[in-house]
Amino acid sequence: MCWPPNQVFLLAWGGLLADLHARTGKRLEPKVALLLALPLLWLLLRPAPQFFDHLTALTGWLRYRYLLLITILVALAAFTRNGEPGRIGRLLSRLGDWSYGLYLLHPFAMRLVAPHLSGGLGFSLSLGLAILGAALAHRWIEEPMTRLGQPRRPSGQVPSMRA
C-alpha cells in the first residue's frame, strides 16, 4: 500500500481541524485541556521509540500515530478558552509568530546537528538552533517584508477604526 506524503496528510488534518474550530463555539477550560494533554504528551515522549530518534524510519501506522497525537495536542490548544495570556501565553504567541521560519529552517538544523549528536541532546540542540534561526528570520526578514507590503500613510496619520 502506498501512503500519501506527509504534507497531504497534514494539510487534510489541519483543514478538518480549522473547519471544526470555525463551526464550534465551545472551548475547554485551560486546566481541563492541560489534564487531557498530559497523557498524550506521555504517549508522544515515552521511550519506545521516541519520535525524534527514528523519524525517517517511522513509516505506516506508527508515523501516523505520532502525527495523530500531535494533531490532538494542537486541537486541545486550539479549543482551549482564551484568557489573559500571561508570560507563557506571550511566549507561545511569539513561537507562533516564528512558526513559519521554524517550519522552513528545522530540516537544516537537524542536518547540521545529526552527524554530531543524536537522541534527546541532538534533538534539543537542533530544535534550539531552529528556534533561534526562526526568531532571527522573523525579525530581520518577515517583519521588514510585511512593512514593505503595507500601504504608506502620511507621517502623523493614525489608522482609522472601521465600524
pTM of full prediction above 0.95: no
Q: Is the pLDDT of residue 41 over 80?
A: no
Please write the tens of the pLDDT for every residue from 63-117: 667 777 777 777 777 777 776 666 766 777 788 788 888 888 988 998 899 889 8
Domain count of the chain? 2
* 153 vs 3, more confident: 153
Q: Is residue 150 part of a domain?
A: no
Residue 26 has φ and ψ, to the nearest 5°, of -75, 140
Q: Identify whether residues 70 and 104 lie together within a single domain.
A: no
Q: Identify whether residues 12 and 89 lie together within a single domain.
A: no
Q: Is residue 11 part of a domain?
A: yes
Q: Identify whether residues 94 and 75 lie together within a single domain.
A: no
Q: Identify whether residues 1 and 79 lie together within a single domain.
A: yes
The fraction of the chain above a pLDDT of 90, given in percent, is: 12
Q: Is residue 17 part of a domain?
A: yes
Q: Identify whether residues 60 and 96 lie together within a single domain.
A: no
Residue 83 has φ and ψ, to the nearest 5°, of -135, -160
Q: Identify whether residues 131 and 69 lie together within a single domain.
A: no
Angle among Cα 30, 42, 82 to the nearest 5 degrees reads 15
Q: Identify whether residues 66 and 92 lie together within a single domain.
A: no
pLDDT of residue 96: 79
Contact 36, 76 (CB under 8 A): yes
**Burial bucket for residue 109 (CB in 10 Å: 0-12, 13-18, 19+):** buried
Q: Is residue 4 part of a domain?
A: yes
Confidence of residue 39 (pLDDT cuts 50, 70, 90): confident
Considering only 70-74, 80-84, 120-124, 135-139, which range has the smallest mean pLDDT? 80-84
Name the grid cell of 148.
514593505
Contact 130, 106 (CB under 8 A): yes
pLDDT of residue 83: 63
Q: Identify whether residues 70 and 98 lie together within a single domain.
A: no
pLDDT of residue 163: 47
Task: Give mean pLDDT, residues 138-149.
Answer: 90
Q: Is residue 30 part of a domain?
A: yes
Q: Identify whether residues 6 and 56 lie together within a single domain.
A: yes
Q: Identify whether residues 22 and 52 lie together within a single domain.
A: yes
Q: Is the pLDDT of residue 23 over 50?
A: yes
Q: Identify whether residues 25 and 75 lie together within a single domain.
A: yes
Domain encompassing residue 99: 85-141
